[in-house]
Amino acid sequence: MERIHSLYLHVPFCTWVCKYCDFNAYAVLEGLIPRYVDALAREIELAGAELPIGPLDTVFIGGGTPSLLTTAQLRQLMAPVGSIGIAPGAEITLEANPSNVTTEHVDGWLEAGVNRISIGVQSLQPDALRFLERLHSGADAIAAIRTARAGGFSNINADLLYGIPGVNLAGWLESVDAVLAEGVQHLSAYELTVESKTRLGQEVRTGLVRMPDADDQLEQYWAAAARLEAAHYLHYEISNWARPGFACRHNLASWHYQPYLGCGAGAHSMFRRNDGRTERRWNINGPHAYIKQASASGYAVAGSETLSTERARGEAAMIGVRLLEGTDAVSDFPAERTQLVRAGLLAEHHGGVRLTRRGIELANQVGAAFLR
Amino acid sequence: MSTPTKLTRAISVIAHVDHGKTTLSDRLLEYTGTVAPRDMVEQVLDQLELERERGITIKAQAVRMLYKADDGQTYQINLIDTPGHVDFSYEVSRALAACDGAILVVDASQGIEAQTLANVHQALEHHLKIVPVVNKIDLPQADPELVREEIEKVIGLPAESVIFASARQGIGTKEILEAVVREVPPPTGDPAAPLRALIFDAKFDAYRGVVTYVRVLEGTLRKGVRAQMMQTGKSFEVDEVGIFRPERTPVDDLSAGEVGYLIANIRNVRDSRVGDTVTDAARPAPTPLPGYRHVTPMVFAGLFPTDSDQYQQLKEALEKLQLNDAALVYEPETSAALGFGFRCGFLGLLHMEIVQERLEREFNLTLLGTAPTVEYRVKLRNGEEVPVDNPDHLPSPSEIESISEPIVLATIVVPSAYVGNMMQLSQERRGQYLNTVYEPGDRVVLTYRMPLAEIIHDYYDQLKSRSKGYASLDYELVGFEEANLVKLDVLVGGSPVDALSMIVDRSKAQQQGRRLAEKLKTLIPRQLFEVPIQAAIGGKIVARETVPAMRKDVTAKCYGGDVTRKRKLLEKQKEGKKRLKRVGNVEIPQEAFMAVLSLD
């Protein structure tokens, strides 16, 4: 099996599960976090002993809301990660809710080795935050960025959402500008997507909420892209922008189809076997079941699939084209490549290809071309 | 096992669709112990998966029952179950030719309907003794007395001969069997005469070859004889003769009056033609039996594999299906838009639908069917007359002297409250009013002369919906008539799509073109680019619509587990796309090719 240099840890707890969220997240289950951390530490430990993994170039602690962990709990998780081995200069990211970004927490995170923080700002508009059911204000979010920076973080990401009902183009750009004014190194702008199993999904189905149409969504997207480009951010993935040198290395690794290990409830892993086939596996979703299983055996895999070399190549191309600085991932598909270039969805770029503006708007159509 | 000829009976059950003939047949099988109650599944005789699912009979089925009657004798009753839908009336005709009597089933709440009449006329043509039964008398809305009166007045059978029954509850089963042995005459053929057996159906069995369904009318059919087909002249050694109980059961011989099957290592179904007479090559009969009217397809459509690699499979599937479906005809067709396929002739729309469904299901094909059309007769300026069953093959207007289209005599049976609606609909469809007859039970029989093309375009659905489901329809081809027709072409993405062309009445052509373009706009999914849809008559564009380009299709997040989910979603969408046919660079779904059928 190819050696793994990336690790993802999932912390599935939130103070409140927002109505649009379809991640594997649960409202804080009283008293469950300590046992969960024990179980997760156990899983990391066992994986470290059994898999060809490390030294780690990237670690990403996501959720849920990992910033809910106490400093002690975070250290407990980082101990087995340290045993796997962390490469010098590794990127270690923690996702944080603005409400949790306090001076004490920031000190503790840095001490535990975290060097990149990703803050869920989402919006600075009070109406939008209420609509999204966020428990923090816009001012809280700005304060969180400042606290992180003041505490010593020099690699900060802000997550923003566009296409929120009731937020017009000007309102959206206000949020973008305000976050840029704080000098963040990285910005992710996601379209608010209606997932059928969420409460938002239900509200849309019953007609309670009307989502903006495709034209409005794209207008906000491209307007933000223009702002960010003017501010010298590189648009390196469909929903991601970074100052030079600050692209998220953890995500880049997976978009470049590098193997990674995921630990924690519902976490996914991707391994590349010696025969060139790709294995994806995923853990048990529910935190109770996960704790039971991982504490007992250190192993919580719920399912897996192995992709043929050909199917894996298609998947690699499907993801690879999302990287806007160009990719070679489609070189195994010359016919599709030619067709997509002719259709104006892909453009030649330094021997590889990259999505055109229209290609970005129809990226799924492009990705699907590589699947059989 | 051998039964004296005077104790043999051969009957069919005939009825309008849904009046309960298959349920009645099931009861007869049960009552006579042919099928043990524990082996009884609903609709024993409907053997095709499709028949059970849809609750309709498509193929005629034959079975032999033994019945100990009140007179103490044991009778052999050969029962042939028949379909009720108008499309399959040829199956009825085939079955009736092999019978001496028919049980006529009429629903106690529906009364006489269009196919009741059509079937009775066929039965009378074959000189069959009819045993009338009013079925479903247990239903709350049943009015058996009124239906009995109707049978006497409309069909002319004495009211006192009518048996009241409920096949569902088993009421009247014995009375029906008694009437059959009492009323239906025994066969008259001489078992010692030279063999003459009528082929009324054939099925292909993968292991045994063609299984030929026959009724022996004269002489005796034995295993080991050399069977000669009197029309084709070919002969085959008979490996097995048998009867249906209802599964195939070998017997030593079939003598005059008996119904059964023969297997003779016949590999090609064309060598076992329905209507042909089987005789003994060693002692041939001098003349064949009168065959029955040749089945002529009424509607034509192209069938194309969505995946062109399946052409050969489709060809083989059609060959096999034709073994079981003599009414299906086909020949290769090439379409600029759809590639290689077959032009097929069907008895009607239901037949077409069923053939396509059977091809897809039983042979694992994915097919695209074009809109059905009738066969036109085109008289050219040079005096030649050519049949045209494909709108795209219509010669250019400058070569055409005139076009004739098939005309049917349509019989509509409907409660009087809906007569106005029926007349209006038939008028809209270029119908020529002929006659109205008021029958008892508030029933009106309307007759119209109508172009068949109008009937296949959604007429039946409209008839049903404008009569709240009460109207029933039967029709028969009466000839061809000159009409003022033009070809309507459709261009998608700028290129003509031959498979969307249609031949329409000139006065309605422009309006039809507009409606078709509008309809196609809703049926063709958005593509990566804008797709213009145009309708044209003789090169002149009469309508234009545009399918706007797909605006946006992008997933915002693609991390970790999102990848698997997204790949599976895209793979699933791709699978769905296989049902679309690529014409030029536009993907067109099956429904679009059927759009011309319902433009009202």
Q: Are A245 and A319 members of one domain? A: no
Q: Are residues A200 and A321 in the same domain?
A: no
**Residue B526 neighbours by CB under 8 Å, 6+ apart:** B547, B548, B549, B550, B551
Interface A:B, Cβ pairs < 8 A: 85
A12 and A133 inside one domain: yes
- Considering only CB atoms, A268 lies closest to which of B554, B555, B561, namely B561
Establish if A35 belongs to a structural domain.
yes
Closest residue on chain B to A217 (Cα):
B552
**Alpha-carbon gap: A104 to the closest alpha carbon of chain B (Å):** 30
Give the Cα separation of B275 and B260 in Å (integer).
Answer: 15
pLDDT at A39: 97
Residue B247 confidence (pLDDT): 82
Within 10 Å of residue B250's Cβ, how many Cβ atoms? 13
- Do A11 and A96 reside in the same domain of the chain? yes
- Answer whether A267 touches B (CB < 8 Å): yes
User: For residues A107 and B403, what is the distance between their CA atoms, to the nearest angstrom?
Assistant: 91
Top-confidence residue, A228 or B360: A228
pLDDT value of position A47: 95
d(CA B136, CA B580): 45
Whether residues A57 and A140 share a domain: the answer is yes
Contact A193 B557 (CB under 8 A): yes
On chain B, the residues whose CB falls within 8 A of the CB of A263 are none
Mean pLDDT over B191-212 rounds to 86
Q: Give phi and psi for B33, each to the nearest 5.
A: 75, 15
Please tell me which residue of chain B has the smallest CA distance to A311. B567
Tokens of A10: 């999932």
Indicate whether B293 pLDDT > 50: yes
B484 touches chain A (CB under 8 A): no
Question: What is the rounded distance in angstroms from the CA atom of residue A104 to the CA atom of residue B408?
Answer: 91
Whether residue A350 lies inside any domain: the answer is yes
Look up the CATH number of the domain holding residue A187.
3.20.20.70
- Of the candidate ranges A7-21, A148-162, B121-135, B291-305, the one whose mean pLDDT is the lowest: B291-305
pLDDT of B270 above 90: no
**pLDDT confidence tier of residue B1, bands split at 50, 70 and 90:** very low
Give the end of a domain, one of A254, A279, A297: A254
Write down the pLDDT at residue A3. Answer: 97
Q: What is the pLDDT of residue B37?
A: 64
Q: Looking at the predicted structure, is the pLDDT value of residue B83 above 70?
A: no
CB contact under 8 A, A239 and B573: no
Rg (CA), chain B: 27
Chain A within 8 Å of B127 (Cβ-Cβ)?
A: no
- Whole-number Å distance between alpha carbons of A283 and B343: 54
A128, A164 contact by CB (below 8 A):
yes
Which pLDDT belongs to residue B91?
63
Residue B207 contacts A, CB cutoff 8 Å: no
On chain B, the residues whose CB falls within 8 A of the CB of A345 are 528
Whether A266 maps to a domain, the answer reads: no
Q: Is residue A285 part of a domain?
A: no
Tell me the residues of chain B between 499 and 528 that have a Cβ less than 8 Å away from chain A. Answer: 528
Instruction: Give a yes or no: residue A284 inside a domain.
Output: no
Identify the structural domains of chain B with CATH numbers, from first to last: 5-183 (3.40.50.300), 196-280 (2.40.30.10), 299-370 (3.30.70.870), 377-483 (3.30.70.240), 486-597 (3.30.70.2570)
Nearest CA in chain B to A221: B556
Q: Are A328 and A231 contained in the same domain? A: no
CA B188 to CA B217: how far, in whole Å? 8
Q: Is B206 on the interface with A (CB under 8 A)?
A: no
Measure the CA–CA gap between A112 and A59, rounded to whole angstroms. Answer: 12
Q: Which residues 6-45 of A are in CB contact (within 8 Å) with B?
A: 8
Asked whether the beta carbons of residue B552 and residue A362 sit closer than 8 angstroms, the reply is: yes
The pLDDT score that the predictor gives to residue A256 is 95
Q: Are residues A55 and A152 in the same domain?
A: yes
Cβ <8 Å between B567 and A371: yes
Which chain B residues are Cβ-neighbours of A217 within 8 angstroms?
552
The pLDDT assigned to A209 comes to 95
Note down the domain range covering A102. 4-254
| pLDDT (0 to 100) of residue A29 | 72
In terms of domains, do A24 and A92 share one?
yes
CA B350 to chain centre: 6
pLDDT at B122: 80
Q: Is residue A277 part of a domain?
A: no
Q: How many CB atoms lie within 10 A of CB A341?
A: 16
A347 Cα to chain B: minimum distance (Å): 16
CB burial of residue B152 (10 Å; 0-12, 13-18, 19+): middle
Q: Residues B434-446: what's their mean pLDDT?
A: 85
Total domains present in chain A: 2
Residues A331 and A203 in one domain: no
Domain boundary among A254, A282, A299: A254
pLDDT number for residue B165: 94
Q: Which of B408, B386, B571, B575 is nearest to B476 (CA)?
A: B408
Asked if residue B135 has pLDDT above 50, the reply is yes
Least confident of A120-124, A206-210, B234-238, B560-564: B560-564
Q: How confident is the model at residue B21 (pLDDT cuts 50, 70, 90)?
A: confident
Please indicate whether, in this complex, the C-beta atoms of A217 and B552 are within 8 angstroms of each other.
yes
Q: Are residues A245 and A322 in the same domain?
A: no
Residue A273 lies in a domain: no
Which residues on chain A are in Cβ contact (under 8 Å) with B548? none
A270/B369: higher pLDDT: A270
In terms of domains, do A345 and A217 share one? no
Last residue of a domain, one of A233, A254, A275: A254
A364 closest CB neighbour out of B551, B555, B559: B555
Residues in chain A: 372
Write down the residue that tokens 């004495």 correspond to. Answer: B158
In a domain, A302, yes or no: no
Q: Cβ of B567 under 8 Å from any chain A Cβ?
A: yes
What pLDDT is stored for residue B402 in this prediction? 95
pLDDT-flagged residues of chain A (< 50): none
Task: Flag whether residue A318 sits within 8 Å of chain B, measured between CB atoms.
Answer: yes
CB–CB contact B563 A371 (8 Å): no
Compute the distance between CA of residue A161 and CA of residue A10 in angstroms, rounded to an integer: 22
| Cβ <8 Å between B570 and A367 | yes
pLDDT digits (tens, 9 = 90+) for A188-214: 999 999 999 999 999 999 999 999 999
* CB contact A361 to B (< 8 Å): yes
Read off the pLDDT band of B86 (50, 70, 90): low
pLDDT value for A306 = 95
Question: Is A232 found in the same domain as A128?
Answer: yes
Alpha-carbon distance of B207 to B223, in angstroms, equals 18
pLDDT of residue B84: 56
Q: Measured between CB atoms, which of A238, A251, A318 is closest to B554?
A: A238
Q: Kindly report the backbone phi and psi dihedral angles of residue A174, in degrees, each rounded to the nearest multiple of 5, phi listed first.
A: -60, -45
The CA-based angle B44-B49-B55, given to 5 degrees, is 65
Contact B554 A360 (CB under 8 A): yes
Answer whether B126's CB lies under 8 Å from B101's CB. no
